[in-house]
Amino acid sequence: MVSATARTGTVVGAVLLSLLAVPAHATPRESTAATGAAVLPKPDLEGLRGDLRTAQRQGAPGAAARIDEHGTVFRTATGIADRTTGRALGNADRFRIGSVTKIFTATVLMQLADEHKLRLDAPVNRYLPGLLPDGRITVRHVLSHRSGLYDYTNDMFARTVPGFEAVRDKVFTYRQLVDRSLRRPRTNTPGAVYAYSNTNFVIAGMLVEKLTGHPVQTAYRDRIIEPLKLRDTFYVHPSTRIPGRHARGYLTPDRAGAPLVDATRQTASWAQSAGAIVSTTRDLNTFLGALLGGRLTSSAQLAQMRRWVPAGTDQAYGLGLRRRDLSCGVSVYGHTGAVQGYYTYAFASKNGGRSLAAFVNTSNNGTVHTTMLGTLESAFCGKRAKAPRGRSAPVERHEDIAAGTAPH
């Protein structure tokens, strides 16, 4: 593959025109009775570049995105990876993926269900005796955010920068995080409604470790990372360093005009199996393509991941997997995520034929977050997604994160 680098920092994959003219049979959209697939609109590549430039103007030091579609690649980046050195950001940079980690954790549990080591509708307490005070909470409730368990990060990051600095170097046990949740009243009856909580995926990590007999790091490596040859994906907890070439992450303080805080170095122990993986745009696209293409679980367990419950406007949630319904009628599947210093967007078409991974190296900036959600429209809806001149989307609440990285 050859590439060219423009002065703006944009990098375009080889044979760019081939991405604009992908054969109809190679671009699955939603299933149809006749062919099993329909045609996705062509990506709006200039629009995607524009989304990244806008995010940079709004306060992100840098932004990058990559589209993969049946062997054809488009990648683009703008801005800087390091505010001290001024090094340009690129798609080869590793970054913290935040709650996109939840898909990895759920995938491992789906594999364990395939191996008859786990039943989705069994109580969590069957596998982790005495952990939860309510024996009605099932594995399915946890993976679909319907457990009613309070999200401990709401208290932990009530104040953005002080909350982060208080945990930057701390190492928590899973039980300590769950106990923080259990000190607060539950938000709902088990199974009642969707209510996002990082507590659920801390419990999911505990289930992985109990049922495999290994740390989640080993489960991710042996079951996903090595089989898919994800050479830039790591679970480094409790180390504070991102190995190799990486983008530094910058946290936006609560006080307007305050300088960005370099949040790159941290244990991410407050997140663990809910949000501590490091990856790249390439590896995330490879992972989602494999998962949605049926290469990581049985079709039955993938169908379980796609049993949707309402989760906000134009959204639904399955088991560790989010569905977003775009303006052009296309639905995409994946997750958004954040950890202090980074926002991540990783989604793919229904069968994984086209995938987009994008990130910015900032967080706690709601305007940037909403702008970056536009990358989904550019990647999957094309130019039909253009909003009328003078109209802008409202700032959207980003809940796939800790409170301290939430937009204002």
* Catalytic residue positions, numbered: 99
What separation, in Å, do the N-terminal and C-terminal C-alpha atoms of the chain show?
Answer: 41
Residue keyed to tokens 């995409």: 332
* pLDDT over 50 (residue 307): yes
Which sign, positive or negative, has the C-alpha torsion 399, 401, 407, 408? positive
Which helix (H) or strand (E) segment is 194 a member of?
none
pLDDT for 190: 98
At residue 281, the pLDDT reads 98
Reported as type and span, the H/E element at residue 52 is: helix 45-57
Answering whether pTM is above 0.75, one says yes
Nearest CA to 106 out of 340, 338, 322, 337 is that of: 322
Q: What pLDDT does 390 receive?
A: 39
Token pair 């536009």 is found at: 374
The Cβ-side half-sphere exposure at 190, using a 13 Å CA radius, reads: 18
Q: What pLDDT band is residue 400 in, cutting at 50, 70 and 90?
A: low
Mean pLDDT of 233-250: 98
* Pairing state between β 331-339 and 322-325: antiparallel
Helix (H, G, I), strand (E, B) or coil at 79: strand
Phi-psi region of 225 (alpha: psi -120 to 50; beta: other; left: phi over 0): alpha
What's the pLDDT score for residue 401? 52
By residue count, the chain amounts to 408
Write the CA distances from 234 to 88, 107, 271, 332, 348, integer angstroms. 23, 16, 14, 25, 21
Q: What phi, psi does 246 have (nearest 5°)?
A: -150, 160
Q: Show the domains of the chain with their CATH numbers.
A: 45-381 (3.40.710.10)
Single-letter residue type at 315? Q
How far is Cα 247 from Cα 66, in angstroms, rounded to an integer? Answer: 15
Whether the upstream peptide bond of residue 129 has omega within 30° of 0, thus cis, is no
Rounded to whole angstroms, the Cα distance separating 103 from 73 reads 23
Residue 39: its pLDDT value, please? 86
Instruction: Give me 309's structure tokens.
Output: 């419950």
Kindly give the interhelix angle for 101-114 and 281-292, rounded to the nearest 10 degrees: 30
What pLDDT digit, counting tens, does each position of 314-325 carry? 999 999 999 999
Residues 180-184 have a mean pLDDT of 98
Q: Is the pLDDT of residue 37 over 70?
A: no
Mean pLDDT (the chain) is 89
